[in-house]
């Protein structure tokens, strides 16, 4: 079997090795409007925390005994975000596996297990962790993982269980046989989303656990089960990996083979069907960050129980969760609300209705609203842009280009662009010319002129772009050359987004 | 007595004449964040209405029998707004009296009575109306005014009374003697802000009315009473008028004399002390628009009792008032809330707490927050500007210049400015040069260069200004020449506003 990485022979740690496999592909709509399809909750730093859930997961995994660098499995549409967030914590992953489509967790785990076996040998262990969960107590987490590794080494698939603290009807539960003094438990049955009465009973039951969505297994063992239980899925997964394109540490899975994988969770595909499954209880302050009320678990509430972030003014207000991204949010005489302000959307929900935010986002998606998809700040391989103002004949963007980065060579049929440099230095290609601009300088790109923007310096290049013209649709872009391989309409979002309308933030790919 | 207008001899209507005197100087903080000190509620079109409360008041007054054009009394800081709103309804007032400071209603009424006497003769009648009240039924309003005019002609001061519909403890009440079959009522006593029990009794009492803040009187009669009861105030008022500067139809009162007037309401100064007072009941759907719950009186609620304006998405929400100015506002699982979104601030309040918004604004004012003062769009004699984005070394504004208008000749020590024309034509003066720019063209004003912007055309000139530099404080402006008389720091807001900080919208005078 060919694998783009096998020739690299990574250094093997003596004894058993644990490879953290971080599943970062979720969409997390229940934390809308902060979480968007283009920047889902795993990439957010919530409740005043410094690091995103994804970053916390990466950092936490480093504390495990005999651990390898993590393997990230994420969506191809988040590649720049993953890259950026790893760079922020100065963390070098083993590799980043990019999925060209959503196929639930079984294909991701199949490919990760295969990749772990290829890289570290068939008896290396994989610890699968969702990137969008929170764990307070790293020490307890590490202890549970180390204990589970002993069990997994012997050939069991080990799932991690959380003692229920409330009668959640939306979670999956795992019923175990009595402990008989052992830490690791024998699984009796999986119970998905029980009714309220049953869930209530489980809270008091020492032998029933929440399924935390974390699994530890020897790569060869998972591959055996997958081969036996889901042979078609396994074959497609293998082809997706063999056909993958390598781009640095990025592994872009073969689209056709990956799309051929059936969409199914690893729970349904293997864990609930295998006969070699065990459960390791974990008491580490786990939370699935399933809605805004997650913030109620964090400290830093005021005397009246309000948890606020950003520019918030309260008057006679109790037990609210308030997040302001930029503007003043003032509350008066209200309680138990979730209020979230972002550049393009505001949410006001009752805490009891926190789960329904998901439905709200579905409604937005069915209306084709940009607010479901993007935050106003859109990340690109070269940096980011924000649409800051628009009218019938103009649109203004703030653009930030990373040191050394370069936008595509492009042209517009219907709009002129004015660039004003407010920080850093730009190299501009315009028609046949090439010249440099620094702070306080500006240039003009007439309609139909090919142009390119580049940051040759060591600090970010910040500029204001004023687009002017009768038609400012995002589809008016012709790409000639792109260092990130996006020539013509290879970027899905460039093709998907329609013309900008004044009633909605035009936020899709442009530059 | 000198009066700048007496020489004009306006055409006298035969018979008694009624001059609407519209008091437009209120600050209306309880409708924050839509209402701001620089654009208070009387200038807002609320609840989907086409016209502002001020415009409605002007238009309504035109239906009165033998009516003169209205006289507007307003704050000098709202002069451009008043002008603009009158132009929108194509209404030419008799004159606009501008107060250089707030002194409650007695000085305003004193000056208006004097002015009415000067212009139309001492027996002309003045109908004083607050500009920030709503009246549904113009026909009933006109009938009450016409009936009151007969009484006022005989020398009574006539106040208008509303039959209470709820036990308001914040209103002023007027108790009358039994009707004895007459429409006009004899006043027995004024009662300010009664307690809840008394207010409850008044709801059922046919002889007690809300004081609607509207008064009708013969100018000479009011002047006699003022002279007798408040001679100092009257003398200062007279001097404020004599010393007024005339600017077209604007009458800018003498600052020193006007500031000398004691600050007192006309109710306390005269109406509650005179012995010639009557009350005319009025059943015309009056509301003082005292808080956001005013919108609950307007039609157009959905089946669940929600009243929304702008881009609003509701899910499982009842009886809410939601106003979105620009961005999406989504509500889920909430009821009886007031949610108001503006460019720089969001309010979430319980309806029961609607009156407390005033306290919230006081808190903002004491914090020196811009959000208490300005909307993001700031009106100027030449048009308006909006701050649309800012960072540590840049600020971006959208500027709109009216046809024929001209900004001051000015210079900045610390910032450069880039102008990109997105609509219309500009004449730019820069250093010694003078040149024309049209759509899609731009120019650059280096630090320290004198410059001026002018719209020579027939359509609005819209441009994007990018300010760039290490210091972007609003006090970095040197004015050399200004067609609106604002050279140097003659504009109070230019002097008052401090440097722009990234944490707060820099929205004060600039250009």
Using an 8 Å CB-CB cutoff, list chain B residues near A418.
418, 420, 442, 464
Per-residue confidence band for A503, with pLDDT thresholds at 50, 70 and 90? very low
Q: Cβ separation of B389 and A388 shorter than 8 Å?
A: yes
Question: Which residues, 6+ apart, have CB-to-CB distance to A208 below 8 Å?
Answer: A164, A173, A174, A175, A176, A191, A202
Cα distance between residue A507 and residue A496, in whole Å:
12
Which of A333, A371, A462 is facing B328, going by the closest CB pair? Answer: A371
Question: Which residues, 6+ apart, have CB-to-CB distance to A204 below 8 Å?
Answer: none
The first and second tokens of residue B288, run together, are 């003082």
Which of A315, A334, A353 is facing B360, going by the closest CB pair? Answer: A315
**Alpha-carbon distances of B338 from A452, B31, B33, B351, B353, rounded to whole Å:** 48, 11, 11, 6, 9
- Give the pairing of strands B321-324 and B337-341: parallel
Judge whether B223 and B244 are in contact, CB under 8 Å.
no
Note the pLDDT of residue A486: 65
- CATH assignment of A376-496, given 1.10.10.10, 2.60.120.200, 2.60.120.10, 1.20.1050.10? 2.60.120.10
DSSP string computed for B148-177: HHHHHHTT-EEEEEE--SS--SSSEEEEE-
Q: Does A362 touch chain B if contact means CB atoms closer than 8 Å?
A: no
Q: H-type helices in A121-254, by residue range? A: 138-153, 196-204, 219-229, 231-242
Alpha-carbon gap: A267 to the closest alpha carbon of chain B (Å) = 32
Backbone conformation region of residue A93, classed left if phi is above 0, alpha if psi is from -120 to 50, else beta: beta
Note the pLDDT of residue A173: 95
* Phi, psi dihedral angles at B497 (to 5 degrees): -80, 135
Mutate to test the interface with B, among A394, A417, A441, A465 (most CBs of B within 10 A): A394
Residues spanned by CATH 2.60.120.10 within chain A? 376-496
Note the pLDDT of residue B12: 41
Q: At what angle do helices B219-229 and B105-120 cross, to 10 degrees?
A: 140
Mutate to test the interface with A, among B466, B469, B470, B506 (most CBs of A within 10 A): B466
**Alpha-carbon distances of A488 from A385, A430, A510, rounded to whole Å:** 20, 19, 12
Q: What is the dihedral of CA A283, A289, A295, A299, to 10 degrees?
A: 20
Residues spanned by CATH 3.90.550.10 within chain B? 16-287
Cα distance between residue A28 and residue A54, in whole Å:
12
Using an 8 Å CB-CB cutoff, list chain B residues near A364.
313, 328, 330
CB atoms within 10 A of CB A189: 11
CA within 13 Å, CB half, B42 = 28
Using an 8 Å CB-CB cutoff, list chain A residues near B503.
311
Task: State which residue of chain A sits closest to B322, comparing Cα positions.
Answer: A348
Q: Which residue has the higher pLDDT, A32 or A80?
A: A32
Judge whether A423 and A480 are in contact, CB under 8 Å.
no
Q: Does A495 touch chain B if contact means CB atoms closer than 8 Å?
A: no
Tell me whether residue A1 is exposed, middle or buried, using C-beta atoms within 10 angstroms of its C-beta: 0 to 12, 13 to 18, 19 or more. exposed
Which of B316, B350, B364 is facing A334, going by the closest CB pair? Answer: B350
Residues spanned by CATH 3.90.550.10 within chain A? 15-153+213-271
Tell me whether residue A26 is exposed, middle or buried, using C-beta atoms within 10 angstroms of its C-beta: 0 to 12, 13 to 18, 19 or more. buried
Alpha-carbon gap: A462 to the closest alpha carbon of chain B (Å) = 10
Averaged pLDDT of chain A: 86
Q: Cβ separation of B348 and A329 shorter than 8 Å?
A: yes
Q: Does B396 touch chain A if contact means CB atoms closer than 8 Å?
A: yes
B48: three-class secondary structure by DSSP = coil
Task: State which residue of chain A sits closest to B355, comparing Cα positions.
Answer: A332
Name residues of chain B where pLDDT drops below 50.
1-14, 488-511
Using an 8 Å CB-CB cutoff, list chain A residues near B339.
346, 348
Note the pLDDT of residue B439: 85
In this predicted model, what pLDDT tens digit does every residue of A397-441 receive, in sequence order?
889 999 999 988 888 888 888 898 988 999 999 988 999 998 888
Q: Does B356 touch chain A if contact means CB atoms closer than 8 Å?
A: yes
Per-residue confidence band for A325, with pLDDT thresholds at 50, 70 and 90? confident
Peptide bond into A33 cis (omega under 30): yes
Task: State which residue of chain A sits closest to B370, comparing Cα positions.
Answer: A328
- In 3D space, the residue among A87, A139, A104, A88 whose CA is nearest the CA of residue A25 turns out to be A104
Which of A313, A344, A464 is facing B466, going by the closest CB pair? Answer: A464
Alpha-carbon gap: A429 to the closest alpha carbon of chain B (Å) = 19
A232: three-class secondary structure by DSSP = helix
Using an 8 Å CB-CB cutoff, list chain A residues near B353.
315-316, 332-334
Q: Across the A/B interface, how many CB contacts are shorter than 8 Å? A: 205
Q: Cβ separation of B394 and A423 shorter than 8 Å?
A: yes
Cα distance between residue B393 and residue A287, in whole Å:
41
Q: Does B416 touch chain A if contact means CB atoms closer than 8 Å?
A: yes
Contacts with B, A 256-315, CB within 8 Å: 311, 313, 315
Mutate to test the interface with B, among A320, A354, A418, A426 (most CBs of B within 10 A): A418
Q: Cβ separation of B341 and A346 shorter than 8 Å?
A: yes
In this predicted model, what pLDDT tens digit does every residue of B39-49 receive, in sequence order?
899 999 888 78
- In 3D space, the residue among B484, B508, B500, B476 whose CA is nearest the CA of residue B76 turns out to be B484
- In 3D space, the residue among A69, A212, A203, A71 whose CA is nearest the CA of residue A133 turns out to be A212
Cα distance between residue A130 and residue A138, in whole Å:
15
- In 3D space, the residue among A276, A331, A259 whose CA is nearest the CA of residue A302 turns out to be A331
In this predicted model, what pLDDT tens digit does every residue of B303-350 receive, in sequence order?
999 999 999 999 999 999 999 988 899 999 999 999 999 988 999 999
Q: Does A353 touch chain B if contact means CB atoms closer than 8 Å?
A: yes
Note the pLDDT of residue A46: 87
Contacts with B, A 30-69, CB within 8 Å: 33
Highest CATH level, class, for B16-287: alpha beta
Using an 8 Å CB-CB cutoff, list chain A residues near B418.
418, 420, 442, 464
Peptide bond into B124 cis (omega under 30): no
Task: State which residue of chain A sits closest to B361, comparing Cα positions.
Answer: A330
Q: Cβ separation of B440 and A391 shorter than 8 Å?
A: no
Task: State which residue of chain B sits closest to A334, comparing Cα positions.
Answer: B350
pLDDT of A317 higher than 60: yes
Alpha-carbon gap: A119 to the closest alpha carbon of chain B (Å) = 46
Mutate to test the interface with A, among B333, B384, B397 (most CBs of A within 10 A): B333
- In 3D space, the residue among A378, A336, A417, A349 whose CA is nearest the CA of residue A508 turns out to be A378
Cα distance between residue A481 and residue A485, in whole Å:
8
Could you confirm whether domain A15-153+213-271 is CATH 3.90.550.10? Answer: yes
Q: Which residue has the higher pLDDT, B20 or A12?
A: B20
pLDDT of A10 higher than 50: no
């Amino acid at each position: 079997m060919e694998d783009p990485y096998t020739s690299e022979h990574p250094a093997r740690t003596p004894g058993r090795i644990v490879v953290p496999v971080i599943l970062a592909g979720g969409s997390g709509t229940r934390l809308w409007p902060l979480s968007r399809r283009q920047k889902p909750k795993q990439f957010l730093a919530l409740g005043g925390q410094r690091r995103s859930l994804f970053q916390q997961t990466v950092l936490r995994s480093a504390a495990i005994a005999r651990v390898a660098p993590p393997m990230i499995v994420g969506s191809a549409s988040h590649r720049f975000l993953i890259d950026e967030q790893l760079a922020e914590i100065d963390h070098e992953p083993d590799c980043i596996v990019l999925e060209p489509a959503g196929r639930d967790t079984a294909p991701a785990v199949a490919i990760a297990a295969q990749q772990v076996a290829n890289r570290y040998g068939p008896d290396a262990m994989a610890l699968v962790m969702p990137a969008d969960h929170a764990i307070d107590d790293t020490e307890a987490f590490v202890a549970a993982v180390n204990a589970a590794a002993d069990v997994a080494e012997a050939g069991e698939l080990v799932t991690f269980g959380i003692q229920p603290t409330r009668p959640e009807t939306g979670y999956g539960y795992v019923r175990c046989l009595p402990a008989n003094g052992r830490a690791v438990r024998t699984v009796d049955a999986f119970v998905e989303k029980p009714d309220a009465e049953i869930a209530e009973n489980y809270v008091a039951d020492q032998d029933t656990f929440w399924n935390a969505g974390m699994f530890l297994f020897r790569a060869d063992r998972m591959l055996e089960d997958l081969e036996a239980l889901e042979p078609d899925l396994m074959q497609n997964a293998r082809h997706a990996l063999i056909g993958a394109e390598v781009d640095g540490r990025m592994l872009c899975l073969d689209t056709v083979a990956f799309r051929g994988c059936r969409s199914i969770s690893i729970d349904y595909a293997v864990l609930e069907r295998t006969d070699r499954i065990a459960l390791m209880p974990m008491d580490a302050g786990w939370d699935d960050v399933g809605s805004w009320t997650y913030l109620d678990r964090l400290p830093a509430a005021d005397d009246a129980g309000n948890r606020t972030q950003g520019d918030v003014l309260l008057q006679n207000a109790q037990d609210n969760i308030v997040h302001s991204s930029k503007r003043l949010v003032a509350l008066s005489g209200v309680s138990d609300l979730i209020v979230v302000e972002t550049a393009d959307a505001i949410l006001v929900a009752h805490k009891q209705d926190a789960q329904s935010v998901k439905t709200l986002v579905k409604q937005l998606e069915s209306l084709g609203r940009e607010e479901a998809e993007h935050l106003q700040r859109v990340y690109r391989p070269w940096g980011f842009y924000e649409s800051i103002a628009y009218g019938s004949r103009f649109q203004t963007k703030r653009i930030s280009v990373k040191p050394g980065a370069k936008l595509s060579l492009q042209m517009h049929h219907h709009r002129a662009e004015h660039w004003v440099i407010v920080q850093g230095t730009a190299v501009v290609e315009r028609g046949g010319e090439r010249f440099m601009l620094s702070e306080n300088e500006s240039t003009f790109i007439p309609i139909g002129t090919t142009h390119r923007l580049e940051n040759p310096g060591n600090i970010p290049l910040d500029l204001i772009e004023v687009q002017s013209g009768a038609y400012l649709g995002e589809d008016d872009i012709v790409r000639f050359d792109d260092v990130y391989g996006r020539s013509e309409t290879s970027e899905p979002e460039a093709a998907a987004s329609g013309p900008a309308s004044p009633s909605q933030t035009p936020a899709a790919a442009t530059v």
